[in-house]
Structures are given as structure tokens and as C-alpha cells.
Structure 1
Amino acid sequence: MRNQPKYNLFKNTIYALKGLKDIIQNESSFKIELLLACVMGIIIVCIDVTVVEKLLLFITLMGILIAEAINSAIERVVDLVTLKHNKMAGRAKDVGSAVVFLSIILCISVWFAIFYTNFNKIF
């Protein structure tokens, strides 16, 4: 049997906000990415592109934050299981880092494509 309480929208929202607060307070990579996402969010609002393009830019930014949160969760679980150096634990952490890396590559690619195709409207 799983150790899971009944679903409660209010309590689950509180848990999610606690997790978000914790990751902001304790993960320097997330802080940097959140700051960049805020700056890039302002750019999204200010540039002259379609709503769909703005949405794509926003989604890719959020993807980085989501990937970083997943990576942090993986790292914490691995550290909870073992503090000793373990090959499989290291591989799990590397895969989490790869998720972040791939999300950054995707974000850069989408931003480049949208800025490239709209260069005359933006600048």
C-alpha cells in the first residue's frame, strides 16, 4: 500500500508551493535560471511576434525550470538513498543533468528560430 494521503487541492497546492520555495532557497542553478526566465519573460512581452510564438518562447523557458526541478528532485532522492559514491547514483544524477541540458538546447533553438524569422519586426 502506498503512503499517500487523499487528494486535496488546497493541501496539494500548499505542498507544491513549499517545494517551489525550497528549490528557490536551496538550489543556486534554479535561482539563476529563474532570474534569466524573468528577464526573458519581459523580453517576450515587449517583442513584436505572434501570440503563438510568444507562447512557444514562454513554454521553452518554463521547460528549463521544470527540468531543473526534476533534476533537483532526482539528486535529493539519490542523496537520501546513499551518500557514498555509487556508479548508478552518479549515472542517475547525470541523466537528470542531461534533462536540463536538453531543455536549454531546445529553448535556445526555439528562441533563435523565432528571432531569426522575425528579425526585421523585432529590430
Structure 2
Amino acid sequence: MSGKPSAEMHDALSLKGRTGLRRILDAGGYSLMGLQAAYRGEAAFRQLLLLNVLLLPLACLVDVTRSERLLLMLVPLLSLIVELLNSAIEATVDRISLSIHPLSKQAKDMGSAAQFIALLMIGLTWALILI
């Protein structure tokens, strides 16, 4: 194997984009596009966003310690992250093929299970801190 990058590697590197501040600005733009795509195309993301809009201000109003408040705020936000990753898995699987395949189903089910656990974390955290 030679020390020169292959044509495929060169193409992959060229897709990476710029470096420095331009790269950070581009990444921020891609992140906003991802949030916009999730909001427009994923009902579950919109529902979790509504849950966060309700729980985050409520976390600021309840009489708890700062550490407890932090947990009450971070756990719902974690559910948004899990939903974004779950939606990305689903989009990737669907991009590969819309046909039913056991591995495709398994990947989608695992993403759904991750979100289920994130929702359990919200319920348990809020229940244990407030009760």
C-alpha cells in the first residue's frame, strides 16, 4: 500500500469541508438544518420538544437543590438527543432499503428502545426528586 491517499479517500476528505472557524460555522448550520428536519418530519421530536417546553420551566419553579434542578433539566434534554439519533437511524435504514429486513427492524427497534429508556429516565428522575 502506497503512502498516497486513494481517489476515494481524496473524495471523502474533500467532502469534509473547511477547517477552523469556517468549519465551526458550517457545522452549526448543519446542526440547525438537522433540528429543522427533525421538527418538520418527526412527530415524536415535536412531542418531546413540547414536553421539554413544559418541563424545563417547571424545573426552575420547583423547590429543589441546584443539583436536583440540573437533573430535572438535563434528563428531558437527553430525550431530544436520543430522538435525534433514533430518527437518524431510521432515515439511514430507510435510505438503504424500504423492504422489510430482520436487521433493519432490529436497528429501528433498538432506536425505539433507547427512546423508551430515555422516557423512563425522565419519569423516574422527576418522581424520585419530587416525591
Cα shift at 1:47: 0.8
Q: Percent identity?
A: 32
- Structure with higher RCO (Cα < 8 A, 6+ apart): 1
Task: State the partner residue of 1:113.
Answer: 128
1:93 to 2:105 alignment: no
Q: 2:69 aligns with which of 54, 59, 75?
A: 54
Runs of 4+ in 1 over 6 A off after TM superposition: none
> How big is each residue's C-alpha offset from its partner over 1:31-69, in whole Å with a ceiling of 9 and x where there is no partner?
011001101112111111111111101110011111111
The separation in 2 between residues aligned to 1:92 and 1:50, in whole angstroms, is 39
TM-score by length of 1: 0.90
TM-score by length of 2: 0.85
Q: 1:5 aligns with which of 12, 17, 23?
A: 17
The separation in 1 between residues aligned to 2:64 and 2:75, in whole angstroms, is 16
After alignment, is 67-76 or 105-114 more displaced?
A: 105-114
1:27 to 2:39 alignment: no
The separation in 2 between residues aligned to 1:70 and 1:58, in whole angstroms, is 19
The separation in 2 between residues aligned to 1:65 and 1:5, in whole angstroms, is 27
The separation in 1 between residues aligned to 2:127 and 2:71, in whole angstroms, is 12
Structure showing greater radius of gyration is 2
**What is the RMSD computed on CA atoms of the aligned residues?**
1.0
Any stretches of 5+ residues in structure 2 without a counterpart? 1-8
